[in-house]
Amino acid sequence: MEIFFTQLTNGLAVGGIYALIALGYTMVYGVLKLINFAHGDLFTIGTYLGLSLLTSLAITDKLGPVAGVILLAVMVMCLVGIVGILLDRVAYKPLRTSPRLSAVVSALGASIVFSNAIMLVYGPSTKVYPHDILTTRVLDIFGLPVPVMRLVILLTSIVLMIALYGFIQKTKIGTAIRAAAIDQDAARLMGINVDRVIMLVFFIGPALGGAAGLMVGLYYGQIKFTMGWIYGLKAFTAAILGGIGNIPGAMVGGLLLGVIESLGAAYISLAWKDAIAFVVLILILIVRPTGLLGERVAEKI
């Protein structure tokens, strides 16, 4: 039983990160019906920018770990958000009226450009975050050893997700985003600046990806320019699992994928971990083709 709960917390911590990245896929898909395959690489950019800022500005030495990491997170999110907007301008906006497949190909191209650009700037070898910033304390919850940082990661992911959900549901701008997601032309007729909405979506999605990147860098320590691909794939799966285009769906999908992977590896087979996760995905899609929480019958790629 102890092992079960340990594995469950292992899965939830990974799932929180998947969920955070999945939000970026889902937001862009919701508004543009485009799978932004470069999203995983925006996540990688977040990890690398975090490392650069951390080592060059020494924020955590000056402000202490908590305030330092928060400031760092804000800076990384803004920068990655701006990269996201630039990505949209360069790779997607010129293709807005072309067939959807062109934009997908453009996204794959952007992904390759990003990961190789990171390699050229930072070099191909593994980079390592400083080890001593975060606490390595282990809490004892009902006899279960739970590292504090795993809890922090999970909570941060959930807080960011709830904040986003509130923003989309409760604010005027959020309403505009939802309107643009339903029907862009109608939204335009209602006086919504759809281009501005798309720009905002390309800021928020990558910014959350960047935040996830920073968390992965800070916690796991090891970053590599190729890491975005595997995270991107998992998060994409999570988004589909929860119902792409749906924000609570991305959260549920991400957490669920993490837990399925972890328990599948623990109780069935390690080597078949990914296969198990994808079998579950297929089963869910057979029963609910729009994903767990997906409502609209969306056209999928």
Find how far residue 202's CA is from the centre of its chain.
13
Per the DSSP assignment, residues forming a β-bridge with 222 are 128
**Residue 176 CA: distances (Å) to CA of 86, 90, 108, 171, 197:** 21, 24, 28, 9, 7
124 near another protein, rule: CB under 8 A:
yes
7 near another protein, rule: CB under 8 A:
yes
Size of the site for another protein (CB under 8 A): 36
3 near another protein, rule: CB under 8 A:
yes
| Torsions phi, psi for 147 (to 5 deg) | -60, 135
221 near another protein, rule: CB under 8 A:
yes
94 near another protein, rule: CB under 8 A:
no
Q: What track of x and - describes contact with another protein for positions 249 through 288 (by CB under 8 A)?
A: ------------xx--xx--xxx-xx--------------
131 near another protein, rule: CB under 8 A:
yes
125 near another protein, rule: CB under 8 A:
yes
Work out whether strand 127-128 and strand 144-147 pair parallel, antiparallel, or are unpaired. unpaired
Question: 55, 98, 116, 169: which one contacts another protein (CB under 8 A)?
Answer: 116
How many of the other CB atoms lie within 10 Å of CB of 279? 13
Q: What track of x and - describes contact with another protein for positions 181 through 220 (by CB under 8 A)?
A: -----------------------------------x---x
Q: Show contacts with another protein in window 222-251 (CB under 8 A).
A: 222, 224, 226-227, 230
Cβ-Cβ contacts under 8 Å for 212 (sequence gap 6 or more): 17, 20, 21, 43, 46, 157, 231
The DSSP secondary-structure symbol of 94 reads G
In the complex with another protein, which residue's Cβ is closer, 75 or 265?
Answer: 265
How far apart, in whole angstroms, are the C-alpha atoms of residue 11 and residue 76? Answer: 26
Taking the complex as a whole, how short is the minimal distance between the CB of residue 42 and another protein, in angstroms?
17
In contact, 239 and 25? CB cutoff 8 Å: yes
In the complex with another protein, which residue's Cβ is closer, 190 or 230?
Answer: 230
Per the DSSP assignment, residues forming a β-bridge with 141 are 144
Taking the complex as a whole, how short is the minimal distance between the CB of residue 270 and another protein, in angstroms?
4
Cβ-Cβ contacts under 8 Å for 190 (sequence gap 6 or more): 179
The residues of the shown chain that bind another protein, judged by CB under 8 A, are 3, 6-7, 10-11, 13-14, 116, 119, 123-126, 128, 131, 136, 138, 145, 147, 216, 220-222, 224, 226-227, 230, 261-262, 265-266, 269-271, 273-274
